[in-house]
Chain A
């Protein structure tokens, strides 16, 4: 079975600063990888996905993630964050089924 670890439960950052949210996974088979965002009182919304091909994946709202097979990581990055990026971010891995990480709460301060 696969598993996902999000290394930071909370990440505070100032507006316009860069941010990286870390995600590591384990699986004995090939996987698909996803990042979701959850705004208050809403469901999860897909940010980006890695299915195959280029290891650098671009998503919505200026986010991108890089698949690193040797390090079994799929870290999420954004070069300059906005107040509106404040939300909970979930990394997920899909092999036989989908597993979600515990989430990282990103707080962008003015």
Chain B
């Protein structure tokens, strides 16, 4: 069984550039979550979707962040323009209803 697949695994870019992170959830899962993890703030929920519809985006830091889920098998998290303080590990997770979430291996983002 393929797990949650995130790409890229690592991203290094310069301040001001647009960054797009991608996630393929597990087939059949109806919830998709985006998290950010830093040493200072720990694991933060940014946004989650149910059946491709955003349910709660209160964790999205500011308007520079946006997330979409055009279909059940794909989601993106976009940062435009990126800033050094956005450097973190970004995780995508999916679940079926209230069952445990399955996490991808994360994207390590560095903004120079």
Contact surface of A with B, Cβ cutoff 8 Å: 32, 34, 36, 42-46, 49, 90, 94, 97-100, 102-103
B101 interfacial contact with A, CB 8 Å: yes
Of B55, B95, B103, the residue contacting A44 (CB under 8 A) is B103
CA distance A102 to B91 in the complex (A): 16
**In the complex, residue of chain A having the shortest beta-carbon distance to the beta carbon of B108:** A41
B43 touches A32 (CB 8 A): no
Of A45, A90, A98, A102, the residue contacting B33 (CB under 8 A) is A98
Count, A-B residue pairs, CB within 8 A: 40
Q: A46-B100, A49-B100 are in contact. Are A100 and B105 (CB under 8 A)?
A: no
Main SS at interface, chain A: strand
Of B42, B98, B104, the residue contacting A43 (CB under 8 A) is B104
Range for the number of chain B residues in contact with chain A = 10 to 19
CA distance A82 to B106 in the complex (A): 26
B98 touches A94 (CB 8 A): yes
CA distance A90 to B45 in the complex (A): 14
B56 interfacial contact with A, CB 8 Å: yes
